[in-house]
Structure 1
Amino acid sequence: MPIRAAVDIGGTFTDVVGYDDVKGTLTLGKTLSTPHDLIDGVFGGLRAADIPVDELAFAIHGSTVVVNALIERKGARTALLTTEGFRDVYEIGRINRPDAFNLAFTKHRPLVPREMIFEVPERLRADGTVARPLDEARTLEIARRLAALGVESVAVVLLHAYRDPAHEIRVGEILRAELPGVYVTLSHEISREYREFERTSTVVANAFVGPLVSDYLGRLEDRLREGGSGAALAVMQSNGGVSDVVTASGQCVQMLESGPAGGVVGTIALCEALGHREAIAFDMGGTTAKSAVIRDLTFPMASDYFLGGYATGLPIRIPCLDIVEVGTGGGSVAWLDQAGGVHVGPHSAGADPGPACYGRGGTQATITDASVVLGHLAPRGTLAGGLELDGDAARRAVGALATELGMDTASTAAGITAIGAASMANSVRAVTTERGLDPRDFVLVAYGGNGPLHVSLVARELAIRRVVVPPNPALFSAFGMLMADLRIDVVQTGVRTLSEVTAEEIESSYRELEDECGRALAEGKLEFGSIEFLRAADMRYVGQEHTVTVNVPSGLDDVGDVKRAFDTEHERRYSHSAPGEPAQIVSLRVSAVGRLRKPELTTIPEGTAVPPDEAATGVRDVVFVPAEGAVPTPVYARDALRAGNRIAGPAVIEEPTATTLLRPGDRAEVDGYGNLLLEIGARP
């Protein structure tokens, strides 16, 4: 029985979705994550999904191991080698001061201290020509000093190596000869874009987590083999595609947003089936909430990713889906500041001990505890993995906070959920309103273990009327990984003024990059079908600093086509353009996509507008507005609903891994795929 499986490790739960190629059926598993060793959670999830390891034919894995190691700064003892005279680039950074009048402002904190940064005598010019040859003798001395210091990883970032990597390659050879077993990252292997600080920050981050991640992936492969699996292991990347383990081990930083990326891929596949081309992907899990905007069914790509936020974070310059994340999840802790103000998150109760209602020793009030107090979740319900909810513990935790505030427990719980919803709505505004987009123009796709429970409040904050809740929303990101393709992205900086270059020269450069990407796919260990190449270019008007990314068609025969596309995109992005001004191509982008087999969306039986009797499982008291008291609210079992069924709020729709809450005025209809199509705030 050939089974393909996707494993998504989150901060609280580990999700597994298996697909039987013969039967065309899905199997689902959900278990608490195991922070002491994430691999234990992987196999716990496989057991929960009833997937025998020896029957795995293909596995896709997304993990928080990279982002956790970077945020917690639990990486390798790392050294940085850079061109002589540029030792302080990493520490100086860009001198960003977003909060100009904040006297307590602190800039980014480097992953590598200054005493572990070493200068290599060499120099390339911006056009790639040699200004100063590499001093190999001095490089050898540095390598031997690093050996004496006991470094575990080395990042090499030489000036303008993106134009000619010869010096970096030679430095890498010397380091690997003198430091056997030490993880070595060369900048041209990770980033071939200009901007020295961003490139340095990216490569250092890769080196910092490299030993940990490569060891983790190696141990996971070994455990799979020991279990009798011959499965090819693929790794979900931040660009929305997957790669093989060898590539992922060398470019670990590509796994930064691997879990959330799966949800975006799944949202695009779902929207394609439903006929929506514009959507907002909204993922609320146990630790964080993530948002991404999808336009014309294409991946939303970001030019920069800031680990820890723009103000004080470290830039990571890799092709990455444009996902905004806030520290608001089901496990987010409610707390008081010195002035008595209530905050929710970013600290999370995590998987251990978890929210108080988990009955595992947690005592602080969380969003999930507030949901239990209000009756949004059954006070004696059962979560995935057989976890029994403890309503009394939730009331004690929220009640303790209420006592500090001098409020009643129900009002405090409602306040916690409202604050959480406002924070999550801000993450959606960050990818819509702040970019000139109206969220009301999009359908909101809500998933994650807590997304369907809170989406009605979030949608109301944004005045969004249309919401889609897919089946098994708590495992939707893992399902999305099964819809992903093999993908390699290459970005090559080389400034060209359009008036000084021909279409043939640009076409030739694109073909060289496509050949490189195609070879990389072919040399990998994953089997795939057809290859599709996607082209884009980072462009600007002459004299500008920042760029706009423009899609470029294959078979370019007129430079004017690129200029017109850039003018149009600049107008769309900034509401103005300058068709009469000269423009430049700063970087060429090529994505090679190797098509993988994907599961089909399954349909459910047809029904009438009235849900079947077996779908109604009872009534429970639910608080929507504390001043109005509890409202007797019907409860439905989602797996008993049929296509065409309609439900008017207030109502609760339960399934094994998630709960969808319809507030008064909401309506839901079940479509042929089992999705819940919600109309928020509709009049009865």
Structure 2
Amino acid sequence: MSETGSAYRLGCDVGGTFTDFVLYDEQSGAIHVEKCLTTPADPSVGILEGLESFRSVDPEHVARTRRIAHATTLVANAVIERKGACTALLTTRGFRDVLELRRHVRVTTYELWADPPVPLVPRHLRIPIDERIYSDGSVLRPVQPEEMEAAVASMRAQGVDSVAIAFLHSYVNPKNEQEAARLVRELAPGIAVTTSSEVLPQIKEYERTSTTVVNAYVKPLVQRYLGNLDSGLARFGYAAPLRVMLSNGGLGSVETAADFPLRLIESGPVAGAIVGRQIAHALELPEVLSFDMGGTTAKACLIRGGAMPITEELEVARSRRFTRSSGFPVAVPAVNMIEIGAGGGSIAEINAMGLVQVGPESAGADPGPICYGRGGTRPTVTDADLLLGYLNPDNFAGGSMRLDEEAARAGIEEHLARPRGQSALDAAWTVHDVVNETMAAAVRMHVTERGGNPRQATLVAFGGAGPLHACQLAAKLRIGRVMVPLRAGVLSALGLLIAPPAYDIVRTHKVPLRQLDAPATGALMEEMAGTVASLLERLDSEGDLRFRRALDVGYIGQSYQVTVPLDGAVDREEIWQRFAALYREKYGYFYDDVPAEVVNLRVLGELVGGELALEPLPPGGTAVPDGSRPAWSVRERGMRPFSVFDRNRLGPGATFEGPAIVEEASATTIVDDGAKVEVDAYGSLVIAVDLEDTP
């Protein structure tokens, strides 16, 4: 890196429709943004093409970039679309069908034919191995080399690319799994190997097996993708190491992502929520509802007390939207958020009942909405927003694309308006309103499940389509305050520059709380912290290492637990009191006469201090519109003039009222009638939504 001139950080967020880039100049504090269409066949191609645009910012930025962070939806999409590797499962004899037996829980209680998704590994590729380890870790039957040779020969004959190994009680003693993995690598070096004792050394056979299978299913795909991207960046001249956003909200190495790709399952959505947390912390907001609406999906996350909500109840590829137990469990720590099949590219159609349905199918980046002029023929949310006057056809994505309004109108008339006897404008408003109602229903459920109240939260809206829909979504949720941060359309990419390097480990340590050996448990957690520290120190040399420890505690005999934070030394009485408080808060009651047990130990390590902090802007700003254009008014149920503002000219202190449209290179914000806007010290649009006249 040059000793003079600027040093840069680069963030890149690959979405289903657009790929967003942020280049941060550490010396001047300047932030440069770019946006380009995603290349679904190989997202690394679109990334490398998009990076070319930064040469105009600084021709030498490649050599001066010292950190590259990346987020992707590749893993989740591969599982949903079933585009992973041909995968086999080696399992203890007698447990071949655990993937289909699941938890013996129906997807929906009263529907006999509502089935979960078909297992990623078909039955003929689930190979039983005659081995056994007791629950105390002692070996009853070791792995036999002859049996493994036959299993590997069968896998090779059937074209297996990846294998998951999940033996009974391997979380206590991984010896048999390790031996099986060694033999597979020796006999078939071309087959990728995943063991449950490395991926998820925790109790619960089905969840551990499912998580291991998902990891194995996407492992070859992710390894190829990251390899192509890493080598492409090197050919480009970048010497900075590539970092990847993990589902827990921290950055990890390429090696971690390649070995444990399931940790990327929420990689894309979580980056934006990190900025929501940063805003909540900077402005001391007790509750923030981050809302990220892009081209393919919308994501929402309730952030309370400035802490990211973490869950291990993540599911992917659900057969029923928003329905628990209808997908594949992925029991790794991930930010607790809801993902909705509603974005700018979501396709609108008339369903069997004659009603307009929007999503979850999306036009994506290829062919995209009709108005993109890239071959799309089915109307989308973006087409409807264009007809409603919310989007400027000559200034979309910073002027890099021109939208075809007449083509969008023709598509909406053909597929929606004429079949329903509506005008094209009324049909467009129906699409806009339906997608808002779909998102509101999902967000309301997410907030309620977490014990929150939407009315008490501040809605922080971002993503390419989020600010456009935020006011109407807030009105439906009865949220009175909306914030649209600067560079809202690429905020997830900016979140990559804010996120700290982080890694977590969870291990099963099942013991009654009254019999817990505090010194031994503390020593075990110190050992876990040492493992995390060694990984993070190899990842980055900047920042101070900080640990957070916790235990999963539940009543003896229960199959679920609550996570109890541990601030100091392990103390049985303190753990019991905290467990009581958390259990009562979550369930409304507590049994003080029923014994509890510790099930899992948790250690999260973060390197803090090296991340980017949000800085206030110089005060002073006025709101002078650049003009006006007709757009749909919710209050008047028709078109009326909206003032149009350039976001770049709205400094801190500027105020104005709706109806208004605020345009910037990466997003458009719609301010409804009656709403009032003030630009805060960080350049965010703070919108007071008029709830009195909301329909």
TM-score with structure 1 length normalisation? 0.96
Matches within 5 A, 1:631-670: 631-670=640-679
2:544 maps to a residue whose letter is: S
In the alignment, does 2:208 pair up with 1:199? yes
1:360 alignment partner, one of 371, 374, 378: 374
Deviation larger for 496-505 or 250-259: 496-505
Residue 50 of structure 2 is aligned with which of 45, 68, 71?
45
Q: How does 1:22-61 map to 2 (within 5 A)?
A: 22-50=27-55, 52-61=61-70
Between the aligned partners of 1:595 and 1:630, the Cα distance in structure 2 is 50
How many pairs are equivalent? 678
Are 2:310 and 1:295 aligned?
A: no
Task: Report the Cα distance in structure 2 between the residues aligned to 1:517 and 1:605, rounded to whole angstroms.
Answer: 40
1 CA distance for matches of 2:691 and 2:674?
5
Is 1:115 equivalent to 2:129 in the alignment?
Answer: no
Distance 1:666 1:279 in 2: 20
Which amino acid in the other structure matches residue 5 of structure 1?
Answer: L
Query: How many Å separate the matches in 2 of 1:603 and 1:44?
Result: 33
* Mapped partners of 1:226, 1:33: distance in 2: 20
* 1:560 alignment partner AA: E
Asked whether the equivalents of residues 237 and 257 of structure 1 are also in contact (C-alpha less than 8 Å), the reply is yes
Deviation at 1:68, TM superposition (A): 1.5
Shift in CA distance, 380/29, structure 1 to aligned 2, threshold 3 Å: closer
In the superposition, relative to structure 1, how do residues 385 and 124 fare at CA in structure 2: closer, same or farther (>3 Å)?
A: farther
Q: Given the alignment, which residue of 479, 500, 507 partners 1:485?
A: 500
Pair 1:575-2:583 in alignment = no
Q: Is the counterpart of residue 600 in structure 1 residue 613 in structure 2?
A: yes
Q: Aligned residue for 2:81?
A: 72
| Amino acid aligned to 1:588 | L
Superposed CA offset, 1:204-246 (max 9, x none): 1111111110111111111111111111110111110011111
Output the amino acid matched with 2:513.
L
Distance apart, 1:256 and its partner CA: 0.9
Q: 1:484 is aligned with what amino acid? A: A
Q: Which amino acid aligns with 2:598?
A: I
Select the residue among 153, 156, 163 that pairs with 1:144: 153
2:50 alignment partner, SS class: helix
Moved more, 137-146 or 532-541: 137-146
User: Aligned with 1:561: secondary structure?
Assistant: helix
Q: Which stretches of structure 1, 4 residues or longer, exceed 6 Å deviation after superposition?
A: none
Contact preservation (8 Å) 2:117, 2:317: no
- The residue number in structure 2 matching 1:425 is 440
Instruction: Give the aligned partner of residue 140 of structure 2.
Output: 131
- Kindly state the Cα deviation for residue 683 of structure 1 after the two structures are TM-superposed: 7.0
1:438 aligns with 2:453: yes
CA distance 1:2–1:607, shift in 2 (3 Å): closer
Structure 1 SS opposite 2:470: helix
Specify the SS of the correspondent of 1:39. Answer: helix
Structure 2 CA distance for partners of 1:526 and 1:536, relative to 1, 3 Å: same
Distance 1:542 1:451 in 2: 45
**Residue in 2 aligned with 1:673?**
682
2:314 counterpart of 1:305? yes
Q: Verify: 1:565 aligned to 2:578, yes or no.
A: yes
Q: Which residue of 1 is the match for residue 468 of structure 2?
A: 453
Q: 1:369 aligns to what?
A: 383
Q: How far does the alpha carbon of each residue in 1:591-627 deviate from its partner, in whole angstroms, 9 at most, with x for none?
A: 111236222324333225x52x4xx111111112496
Taking the aligned partners of 2:52 and 2:286, their CA distance within structure 1 comes to 37
The 5-angstrom pairing of residues 389-428 of structure 1 reads 389-400=403-414, 401-428=416-443
| Native 8 Å contact 1:237 1:254 kept in 2 | yes
More off after superposition, 512-521 vs 456-465: 512-521
Query: Is 2:281 the counterpart of 1:266?
Result: no
The 5-angstrom pairing of residues 369-388 of structure 1 reads 369-384=383-398, 386-388=400-402
**Which one-letter code corresponds to 2:52 in the other structure?**
R
Supply the AA of the counterpart residue of 1:363: T
Residue 555, structure 1, aligned to residue 569, structure 2: yes
Partner amino acid, structure 1, of 2:14: I
In structure 2, C-alpha distance between the alignment counterparts of 1:85 and 1:24, rounded to whole Å: 60
Q: Distance in 2 between matches of 1:679 and 1:583?
A: 47
Secondary structure of 1:432's aligned partner: helix
Q: Structure 1 regions of 5+ residues with no counterpart?
A: none
Kept in 1, the 8 Å contact 2:676–2:689? The answer is yes
Paired position in structure 1 for 2:321: none
Q: What are the superposed Cα offsets for residues 363-392 of structure 1, whole Å, 9 maximum, x if unpaired?
A: 211111111111111244332471111111
Residue matched to 2:532: 517
CA contact (8 A) 2:152 2:188 kept: yes
CA separation in 1, counterparts of 2:96 and 2:599? 26
Describe the SS at the equivalent of 1:387: coil
Correspondence list, 1:99-248, <5 A: 99-248=108-257
Q: CA offsets per residue over residues 127-179 of structure 1, 9 Å max, x none?
A: 21222222233223322332333321111111111111111111111111111
The alpha carbon displacement at 1:628 in A equals 4.1
- Decide which moves more: 638-647 or 52-61: 52-61
Letter in 1 for 2:407: A
User: Are the aligned partners of 1:606 and 1:643 in contact in 2 as well (CA < 8 Å)?
Assistant: yes
The 5-angstrom pairing of residues 485-504 of structure 1 reads: 485-504=500-519
- The 2-side partners of 1:300 and 1:116 are apart by 37
Shift in Å, 1:250 = 0.2
RMSD of aligned residue pairs (Cα, Å) = 1.7
Residue 350 (1) aligns with residue 355 (2): no
CA distance in structure 2 between the aligned counterparts of 1:294 and 1:225, rounded to whole angstroms: 37
Asked whether the equivalents of residues 30 and 48 of structure 1 are also in contact (C-alpha less than 8 Å), the reply is: no
CA distance in structure 1 between the aligned counterparts of 2:502 and 2:421, rounded to whole angstroms: 55
Distance 2:40 2:122 in 1: 27
Matched residue SS, 1:657: coil
8 Å Cα contact 1:143-1:178 kept in structure 2 = yes
CA distance in 1 between counterparts of 2:531 and 2:466 reads: 41
Query: 1:320 and 2:351 equivalent?
Result: no
Q: Which runs of 5+ in 2 are unaligned?
A: 1-5, 319-323
Shift of 1:553: 1.3
Cα deviation 1:469-504 (Å, max 9, x = unaligned): 110111101101111111111111121111112322
Tell me if the contact between 1:537 and 1:588 (Cα under 8 Å) persists in the aligned partners. Answer: yes
Letter in 2 for 1:412: A
Are residue 4 (structure 1) and residue 6 (structure 2) matched? Answer: no
